[in-house]
């Protein structure tokens, strides 16, 4: 076993990795809830409302995560790291299969993606429920769990879910109408950059349009400052109670003076920004190869 200091360092690294994973999951779940669900329920919701709803949803997820801890003890022998990997194998592998097919296969429509994801997650949820309903027996006791739990490790089940999800996506996609070129523009690897000459000529136009928008926005602010001075001549109108100020700070809601204009680019601008410099592409490829060599060396040394 490593010494006490190294064990503490490894524990800190593992907890930091878990915290990073949880924060990314919470942010992604909050974005999906606010942008895909809340905006459907309230189409007129403003940015401030969406921001507050997203923060409240993250707090609710934290509460649910704390209440889920007792169930964690009954799965994977109460081992946190094994439980996290098992859940990712059950519920994360369909997303990976869908993402790979989405960026490499132009034939996949919305129906194939949706139903393939549903089928993959149904398989994962069934295995997760079985894990919670039939906990592993203690050492020395007979294992009476179903054979799918005893004979099929969760890592192999994750690979099986990838195959099932991929087959479901391919079969359903071939039975439905293919998407048009306009629907998959810049979304598939084959057509991520189309019309290179157009994008090269459009780069200068992008910069000019951004500068013009900045000048226009600054001019509008300057013209509106006189009106704001006349409207806000009363100092008490800008005052707010202490609790409202703290709520805005916690929720990250900025004041009117701190709000900045977001520039929206069209498809040509997106194509231009997606073009990668060959020099940096080679650098990233070299870093990837070095990382793979180091990973293989460590795996062969310690396995």
Note the pLDDT tens digit of each residue in 43-97.
888 888 888 888 899 999 989 888 887 777 666 666 777 787 888 888 889 999 9
Helix axes 47-67, 242-251, angle to 10 degrees: 80
Select from 172, 190, 194, 187 the least CA-distant residue to 102.
187
pLDDT tens digit sequence for 12-33: 888 888 788 888 888 888 998 9
Q: CB of 141 within 8 A of CB of 201?
A: no
Mean pLDDT of 122-138: 86
Q: What is the pLDDT of residue 74?
A: 64
Q: Is the pLDDT of residue 206 over 60?
A: no
Q: Is the pLDDT of residue 289 over 70?
A: yes
Q: Where are the domains of the chain?
A: 7-67, 80-192, 195-214+267-303
Q: What is the pLDDT of residue 78?
A: 60
Name the token pair of 224: 């509106």
Tell me how far apart the alpha carbons of residues 178 and 271 are, in angstroms, rounded to a whole number. 23
Q: Is the pLDDT of residue 209 over 60?
A: no
Q: Residue 71 half-sphere exposure, CB side, CA atoms within 13 Å?
A: 13
Tell me how far apart the alpha carbons of residues 133 and 122 are, in angstroms, rounded to a whole number. 16
Q: What is the pLDDT of residue 133?
A: 83
Q: What is the pLDDT of residue 291?
A: 92
Tell the burial category of 158 from Cβ atoms under 10 Å away from its Cβ (0-12, 13-18, 19+).
Answer: buried
Tell the burial category of 69 from Cβ atoms under 10 Å away from its Cβ (0-12, 13-18, 19+).
Answer: exposed
Q: What is the pLDDT of residue 287?
A: 95
- The SS3 of residue 43 is coil
Name the token pair of 39: 């905006």
DSSP-assigned states of every residue in 169-198: HHHHHHHSPPPPTTTTTTTSGGGSS--HHH
Model pTM score: 0.61
Q: What is the pLDDT of residue 179?
A: 87
Tell the burial category of 277 from Cβ atoms under 10 Å away from its Cβ (0-12, 13-18, 19+).
Answer: exposed
Confidence of residue 197 (pLDDT cuts 50, 70, 90): very low
């Amino acid at each position: 076993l490593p010494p006490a200091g190294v064990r503490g360092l490894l524990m800190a690294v593992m907890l930091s990795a878990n915290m990073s994973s949880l924060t990314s999951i919470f942010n992604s779940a909050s974005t999906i809830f606010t942008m895909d669900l809340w905006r459907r329920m309230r189409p007129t919701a403003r940015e401030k409302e969406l921001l507050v709803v997203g923060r409240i949803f993250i707090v609710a997820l934290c509460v649910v995560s704390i209440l889920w801890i007792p169930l964690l003890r009954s799965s994977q022998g109460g081992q946190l790291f094994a439980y996290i990997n098992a859940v990712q194998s059950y519920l994360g592998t369909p997303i990976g299969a869908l993402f790979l097919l989405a960026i490499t296969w132009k034939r996949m429509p919305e129906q194939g993606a949706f139903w393939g994801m549903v089928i993959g997650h149904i398989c994962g949820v069934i295995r997760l429920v079985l894990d919670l309903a039939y906990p592993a027996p203690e050492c020395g006791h007979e294992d009476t769990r179903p054979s799918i739990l005893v004979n099929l490790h969760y890592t192999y089940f994750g690979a099986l879910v990838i195959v099932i999800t991929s087959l479901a996506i391919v079969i359903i996609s071939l039975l439905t109408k293919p998407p048009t070129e306009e629907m998959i523009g810049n979304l598939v690897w084959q057509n991520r950059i189309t019309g290179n000459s157009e994008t090269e000529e459009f780069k200068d136009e992008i910069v000019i349009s951004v500068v013009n928008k900045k000048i226009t926005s600054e001019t509008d602010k300057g013209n509106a400052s006189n009106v704001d001075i006349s409207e806000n001549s009363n100092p008490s109108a800008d005052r707010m109670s202490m609790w409202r100020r703290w709520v805005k700070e916690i929720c990250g809601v900025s004041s009117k003076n701190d709000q900045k204009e977001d520039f929206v680019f069209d498809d040509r601008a997106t194509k231009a920004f997606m073009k990668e410099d060959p020099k940096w592409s080679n650098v990233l490829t070299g870093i990837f190869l070095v990382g793979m060599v180091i990973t293989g060396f460590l795996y062969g040394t310690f396995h």
